[in-house]
Amino acid sequence: MIQTPHVDWFSISTILVLLGASGIALLGAVLVPRAHRRTFAAAVAALGSIGAIVTSVWLYVDSASGHRVIADGFYRDRWTAMAQVIICATAFCTVLVSVDHVPEEHVAEFFSLLLASTAGMTFFVGAANLMTLFLSLEWFSIALYIMCAIDYGREGSLEAGLKYLIVGSFGSASLLFGSALVYGATNHIGFAEIAQTVGSQGLHGDLLLVLGLAMIIAGLGFKMSAAPFHMWTPDVYEGAPTPVTAFMSSATKVAALVLTLRVLRTAFPQETHLWSWAFAGIAVASLVIGNFAALVQRNVKRMLAYSSISHAGFMLIGLSAGTALGGRALMYYLVPYSAMAFGSFAIVAARERELGVPVTFENLAGFGWERPFLGVAMWFFMFGFAGLPLGGGFIGKFYVLSAAYRHGWTWLVIVGVLATLVSLYYYLGVVRALYMRPGEGVGVAAVAGGSPAREPLLHAAVGLALTVSVGSLFAVGPLITLAKHAAASLPF
């Protein structure tokens, strides 16, 4: 008789809902006639992600006192639940954008994979030991590798899938190796037990442990695409189907950053001074590389990829502070960031569909006047990214910089401010292209012929993203309270 642990089914309800929906969508690929497959799979995916949002909100409300469940393998607390809400909301928007943007042959499989990877991420953010951490990382990564390559008729898509697979596997390997070293040093895989053992056995500063920590940081750095682990990002973001890029740039980053802070605070509190400095360094590297590389990009997706690297840098400023304020700042920042990142890629997807070629600054000309809503939304996202007070990005930056200052790192505040200044140039480049260059001379607008597709669902998704990014400026109070309660689950 095998002893099975007690399972708190409700704590993993979000994951179960997503997995269930994923299974149904996959069945649709075989059972539902081709004519209805797209509608069916998209509907299942939309319902699944809405259901997942509902359960995560419920979990947030119902998990005031965080604790571990299922053989201490998973955290049921507000930190997990809030991240799950953001991830599932992103997944829902991805469904809306993908409906008209996924190749016909594998549409049901695509939605199934999308749900599966969302499930993986929602599990990942609650991981409580190195084993569940690694398994869930692979779980969502493998789904993402396939999603990147799903448009396999296009060379870029295949290339993106392959690159992501190879570099991602390298990151996973590093994470796994690091985990092994940490296990070797402490004889434990549970985060809390690791911290306990380090404390009780005086392993503080132990070479094996520190090496393991460094490799874990590197492995997670790949997922959050922070420099110097970023080199895959522009290529993969450029090559992957744009809805997938939108999903990766927002949800993956949320998952990776949220989990990283959890691991560091829970498993390695004694090494705070080490990882604080490590992440401050990574943040600076991301800010410098992301911003300066973005300056010279002509392809909008590549520019946004570098911008996402630089934003990883900003969020890492909050993370590196390693304080409750930093955690709050990180969680708050993720809300407008994921909305803006998602929304801007969704708009690129719309333009891409219209033109049939990759979107560059040149062929973005006049777009703002042709499609006023998408143009205005892009305008808001770009100004929001740049930290102008048109959205929550402004408060997010203010918060992370405040966290850095409270931590005593005025120099990091100055680096952040300078990075913002550099970033203005390329964000405004988009606005300039949208509104200030004549569209007639481009000569590509006619390629698709006729008026652009109406795409009400894409508009709805962009509208949602716009609402969240602008709304988070006004609803700072409530959001911060939510983030505060979430961060209270972590041991600060």
State in angstroms the smallest separation of the CB of 435 from other proteins.
Answer: 5
State in angstroms the smallest separation of the CB of 245 from other proteins.
Answer: 27
When the beta carbons of 303 and 480 are compared against other proteins, the nearer one is 480
Q: Is the dihedral of CA 96, 83, 401, 311 positive or negative?
A: negative
Q: What is the C-alpha to C-alpha distance for residues 249 and 230, in angstroms, rounded to an integer?
A: 12
Q: Which of 405, 444, 463, 492 binds other proteins (CB under 8 A)?
A: 405
When the beta carbons of 230 and 328 are compared against other proteins, the nearer one is 328
Q: What is the C-alpha to C-alpha distance for residues 188 and 133, in angstroms, rounded to an integer?
A: 14
Q: What is the C-alpha to C-alpha distance for residues 142 and 145, in angstroms, rounded to an integer?
A: 5
Q: Which of 191, 367, 383, 385 binds other proteins (CB under 8 A)?
A: 383
When the beta carbons of 210 and 330 are compared against other proteins, the nearer one is 330
Q: What residues have CB less than 8 Å from 203, skipping those under 6 apart?
A: 185, 186, 197, 209
Q: Does 398 bind other proteins (CB under 8 A)?
A: yes
Identify which range of 92-100, 265-273, 296-304, 392-400 contacts other proteins by CB under 8 A: 392-400
Cα angle vertex 119, ends 158, 278, to 5°? 75
Which residue carries 């606005």 as its tokens? 431
Q: What is the C-alpha to C-alpha distance for residues 93 and 457, in angstroms, rounded to an integer?
A: 9
Identify which range of 50-58, 305-313, 383-391, 453-461 contacts other proteins by CB under 8 A: 383-391
Q: Does 435 bind other proteins (CB under 8 A)?
A: yes
User: Which two three-digit tokens encode residue 324?
Assistant: 């409750």
State in angstroms the smallest separation of the CB of 401 from other proteins.
Answer: 5
Q: Does 382 bind other proteins (CB under 8 A)?
A: no
Q: Which of 165, 282, 293, 395 binds other proteins (CB under 8 A)?
A: 395
State in angstroms the smallest separation of the CB of 383 from other proteins.
Answer: 6
The three-state secondary structure class of 227 is: coil
Q: Does 31 bind other proteins (CB under 8 A)?
A: no
Q: What is the C-alpha to C-alpha distance for residues 260 and 30, in angstroms, rounded to an integer?
A: 39
Q: Does 285 bind other proteins (CB under 8 A)?
A: no
> Kind and range of the H or E element at 244?
helix 242-247
Q: Does 58 bind other proteins (CB under 8 A)?
A: no
When the beta carbons of 166 and 436 are compared against other proteins, the nearer one is 436
Q: What is the C-alpha to C-alpha distance for residues 367 and 144, in angstroms, rounded to an integer?
A: 30
Q: What residues have CB less than 8 Å from 123, skipping those under 6 apart?
A: 12, 15, 74, 132, 136, 139
When the beta carbons of 26 and 390 are compared against other proteins, the nearer one is 390
Residues 311-340 that bind other proteins (CB under 8 A): 325, 328
Q: In the stretch 59-98, what mask flags binding to other proteins with x, by CB under 8 A? A: ----------------------------------------
State in angstroms the smallest separation of the CB of 387 from other proteins.
Answer: 8
Identify which range of 76-84, 203-211, 395-403, 464-472 contacts other proteins by CB under 8 A: 395-403
Q: Which of 279, 394, 409, 426 binds other proteins (CB under 8 A)?
A: 394
Q: Does 401 bind other proteins (CB under 8 A)?
A: yes
Q: Is the dihedral of CA 176, 182, 185, 186 positive or negative?
A: negative
Q: What residues have CB less than 8 Å from 273, skipping those under 6 apart?
A: none
State in angstroms the smallest separation of the CB of 20 from other proteins.
Answer: 39
Binding-site ranges for other proteins (CB under 8 A): 325, 328, 369, 376, 383, 388-390, 394-395, 398-399, 401-402, 405-406, 410, 413-414, 417-418, 420-421, 424-425, 428, 431-432, 435-436, 476-477, 480, 484
